[in-house]
Amino acid sequence: MIYKFRIHFEDYDDVYRDIEINSQQSFEDLKLAILKSINFDTIHECIFFMSDDSWRKGRDLTKKKDGTPFELSKRIICDFVEEPHQRFLFIYDLNVQWSFFVELLKISKSDPNVVYPLVVKSFGAAPKQYKPVYIASPSFDDEDSPKKGKRGRKPGSVKEIEKDTIDDEEIDDDSDVEIEEDISYIEESDIDDGFESKDDDDPDETGGEDDIDEYGNGYDDENEMYNNRYDNSADDY
């Protein structure tokens, strides 16, 4: 016998898949057929529950009656179909809990030329199993995260430092100009006054006319004793 189930998302009523499966196949086969039809992976844990007409959870088919785990590959579908429109709840990925409603629509004879399970109808695009995560690029604020300029400073700081340096240089240039003006003033005064006054003020350094005799001998303080000695020796001859 072939069971035809309609599977649709709990949160997406407009998306569903109709799957035909052999009644002797397991819930593990049904699980793989459902996940393949919506392009989900098969690496996460899942649970099948028996359900009533109001989609309330009943028996957990992944456990025995005593609560111990039981493999879905050993759960045969026909053993749990109790009515023509039997319902099941399928929960996949227990962390995210994708929920699916599984309802039996039809029971028919099997076709020996068909490999089951088989998706006979697909309606609507299934949602993505993993939603993309967008990481916002960091925003750089001048106050919080200033951009590095020369020597690791903010561009504004560099500009202020350069401005201060220019001002200091201007001050130094002004001082140089004042010094040059003083020097030029001194040179002009020397030219105007001349050096004759210096000779007049210091007669001892150059010697005057009264200090030289007819022979060209000087009578300054340093040569007076020598000149007198020479004169005395001349008288002896």
**Phi, psi torsion values for 218, nearest 5 degrees:** -95, 150
Domain boundary among 123, 149, 179: 123
Q: Which helix (H) or strand (E) holds 149?
A: none
Is residue 142 included in any domain, yes or no?
A: no
Is residue 135 included in any domain, yes or no?
A: no
Residue 203 is predicted with a pLDDT of 47
Domain of 100, CATH number, reads 3.10.290.30
119 neighbors 18 (Cβ within 8 angstroms) = yes
**Arithmetic mean of pLDDT over the chain:** 76
Give the range of the structural domain holding residue 110, as residue numbers without chain letter: 2-123
Is residue 79 included in any domain, yes or no?
A: yes
Pair (10, 116) in one structural domain: yes
Domain boundary among 62, 91, 123: 123
- Tokens 């695009």, residue located: 125
Is residue 145 included in any domain, yes or no?
A: no
Pair (119, 203) in one structural domain: no
Pair (116, 226) in one structural domain: no
97: left (phi over 0), alpha (psi -120 to 50) or beta: left
228 or 21, which is more confident: 21
Query: Structurally, how many domains does the chain consist of?
Result: 2
Q: What is the pLDDT of residues 118-171, one digit of tens each?
A: 999 999 999 999 988 777 777 665 555 555 444 444 444 444 444 444 454 444
Non-local (6+) Cβ contacts of 206 within 8 A are 199
Domain boundary among 76, 100, 123: 123
Is residue 184 included in any domain, yes or no?
A: no
Is residue 10 included in any domain, yes or no?
A: yes
Pair (119, 202) in one structural domain: no
